[in-house]
Structures are given as C-alpha cells and as structure tokens.
Structure 1
Amino acid sequence: MVELAKGLAVKARTQAINQLKAVLVTADPVLREELAGLNNSELFRTCARFADDSQDEEDGAEAVLRATRMTLCLLACRIGQLTEQIQDLEGRSARLVERHAPQLLTVVGIGPRTAVTLLITMGDNPERLGGEASFAALCGVSPVERSSGSRQYRRLNRGGDRQANAALHRIVQTRLRFDPRTREYFERRIAEGKTRREIVRCLKRYVAREAFHLIRPTSSHPSS
C-alpha cells in the first residue's frame, strides 16, 4: 500500500509540474523573463512565494497577471506538498525493508526502492512461486528458447512483472558500474563473443536467484 500511495503521489506531482510549466508558456513575457534560467527547485520556491506579494500589488495591476501568479503559487505549493509526501513514503518503505528483509540491503546494487519492489512481487504471488525458477519467470528474466533454422538461441523474456523486471535491471546496471566481480564477468563473456544484451539477461537471472533465496531462504526445502 505504501508503494501504491507513492506511485499516485509521483503521478500527481508530475501532472502538477507539467501544469505549472504549461501556465508559464502562456504567461506574461515580463513574468516569464523573471523566472527564466531558474532550475526546477528555484522555480517552485519562487512561485510558492507569489501569494505573499500578490496582496501588495497596486489596484491597477492587471487581473490576468494576478491570476497567473496565484495559479503558479497554488501549483508550486502542491508540488512541494507532494514532494514531502513522497519523501515520507520513501522513508516508510526503507524502514519496512530494514525491519522485514534487512539482508537485501547488504547486497550490492539493491537499495530500499528495488528491495520493496521485489518483496511486493514475491508477496503478491505466493501461489505462483514453487522455487527460484518460478520467481525468475514471474519477473520476466527466465530464458526463452528460440530457433532460426539450424541456429538455437535464447532471447529476453518480455513477459512477467515489468516493475520487478525494471528493478532487476537497475540492480544489474549498478553492479556493472561499481561491482568488480560483475565487471570481470562482463569482460569475460564479451571475450567469449556474447553481446551486452545476452550478458545482461544472464545477470538479471542470477540476481533473481540471489534475491529469491535471500527473501525465502527455506523455500526450496519445504517441511513435510
């Protein structure tokens, strides 16, 4: 539920940011010039302060300009509120992982965000997980056999839970940058003639196996 709430907040914040920038496109040129060159954080802070000075404008100020400034202020305040909500939810997710599956956070490349995604995928589908191979298939990282004439090969699995698949992909990309063992494996497989896509597929399958046994260490040995 925490991740669902976070997803809704992220979507709402993105919409608010798009709306604010759409208002700027049609705003008074003087106002656009005032806000030009600001990065997003500075832009939102500046717009959020418009309410403070809107009451001090002279009576002859244009109503359209006042309305534009107020609209920008409301949108900027909403963006700030949603950002705080997202940060709070991310903190809650991290605490849940630390409490229920801290072993995941000790693995190279797995942070709170990816750990939560994998936990949700596994927890929502207990009846489909007979073992680590089932989890790999559920995440869309199990090899799919294909043939072209006399050539036999394996391609990426385009099925499964795409959120979990994306989480595994982020883990692999992080390891390719920072983990010496993964870099060594990558170089060795490149020397054997494998493509980057094939190597990434193998690494995602390995990470799925590793994550499964970290979350459910006794799953492969059910009690009678």
Structure 2
Amino acid sequence: MILGETAGAARFRSRHAYAPFNGTAPIPVWSGNTVRVRLNRGGNRVVNTALHMIAATQARGVGPGKDYVDRQLAAGKTRTEALRLLRRRLSDRVFTALIADEHLASQPAGATAATLPSTKPRTRIAVAA
C-alpha cells in the first residue's frame, strides 16, 4: 500500500516533506502556556493507515518499536502520543528505504546498497574569509 500510494519518493525533497503527505507531521496547538501537538487528520489516509498498522504491531511486540513506546510512556507521554511519535519515526524510515530502493533501481546492475549516496542531511561548514 505504501509503495503504490507514494508513487515515487524522489518527488519529495526530504523526509520532512513526506510526513505531511502521509499525515504523520504533527500539528501544534497551544493552550495558554502549554504547547502540545495533535493528530494530523490530513494527508494520504491509506499510507497513514499502513503506518498505523505497523506502529501498533511493533508497539505490542518485542523490539525497537516497543522500546521506543516504553521510553515515551516513561517520559510522560500518553499511549496515543507515543504511537503518533512512533508512526512519524516509521514514516522517516520508510522514506529512507524508498529513496534507497529508487537509487538502487537506477544504478547499473551490480551496484549494492553500500555504493548508494547517503540520505542523511549534510551539515554546512562556514568558512571564514
């Protein structure tokens, strides 16, 4: 579902641009001095549903998803907030995997994942003149 609905991850400039597309980008809401974020009801609901199913499965099982949710619960988040955060984290991982697959598909035969360019953001270094 994710692959079909995304239809080419290269059309998004970053994982941050992919998040509003699939509805995992948080929407800030303020109430007095309390800053919170709420569920984004926009975006592609098919991709969001698929990410939610992955998040719910990982939160119940044993592994990094459950560990992440447990850390968020210990930090004072509600279970709903923890699942929303896990869904955004999964969105970032899915985007990275989609980009890597597209790069691999465009490489000549014999190329491996180790030869792909990094998808991590580059830091700029200021040079004093």
Corresponding position of 2:22: 139
Instruction: Write the mapping of 1:33-182 to structure 2, written as runs, cut at 5 A.
Output: 117-123=1-7, 127=11, 129-182=12-65
Task: Say what the alpha-carbon RMSD is for the aligned residues.
Answer: 2.0
Corresponding position of 1:107: none
**Secondary structure, counterpart of 2:50 in structure 1:** helix
**Secondary structure, counterpart of 1:154 in structure 2:** strand
- Please, which runs of 5 or more residues in structure 2 have no aligned partner? 101-116, 121-129
Q: Which has the higher contact order (CA 8 A, sep 6+)?
A: 2
Amino acid at match of 1:122: T
Render the CA deviation track for 1:145-175: whole Å, top value 9, x for unaligned.
Answer: 1101121111111100000000000000111
Query: How many pairs align?
Result: 104
8 A contact 1:132–1:212 mirrored in 2: yes
Amino acid at match of 1:136: A
Corresponding position of 2:67: 184
**Secondary structure, counterpart of 2:52 in structure 1:** helix
Q: Which TM-score applies when normalising by structure 1?
A: 0.43
**Secondary structure, counterpart of 2:37 in structure 1:** strand
8 A contact 2:10–2:99 mirrored in 1: no
Matched, 1:211 2:94: yes
8 A contact 1:140–1:165 mirrored in 2: yes
- CA drift of 1:185 comes to 2.0
Amino acid at match of 2:86: L
Render the CA deviation track for 1:62-102: whole Å, top value 9, x for unaligned.
Answer: xxxxxxxxxxxxxxxxxxxxxxxxxxxxxxxxxxxxxxxxx
8 A contact 1:168–1:204 mirrored in 2: yes
Render the CA deviation track for 1:117-167: whole Å, top value 9, x for unaligned.
Answer: 11122216754x111111111000011111011211111111000000000
- Rg larger in structure: 1
Amino acid at match of 1:173: A
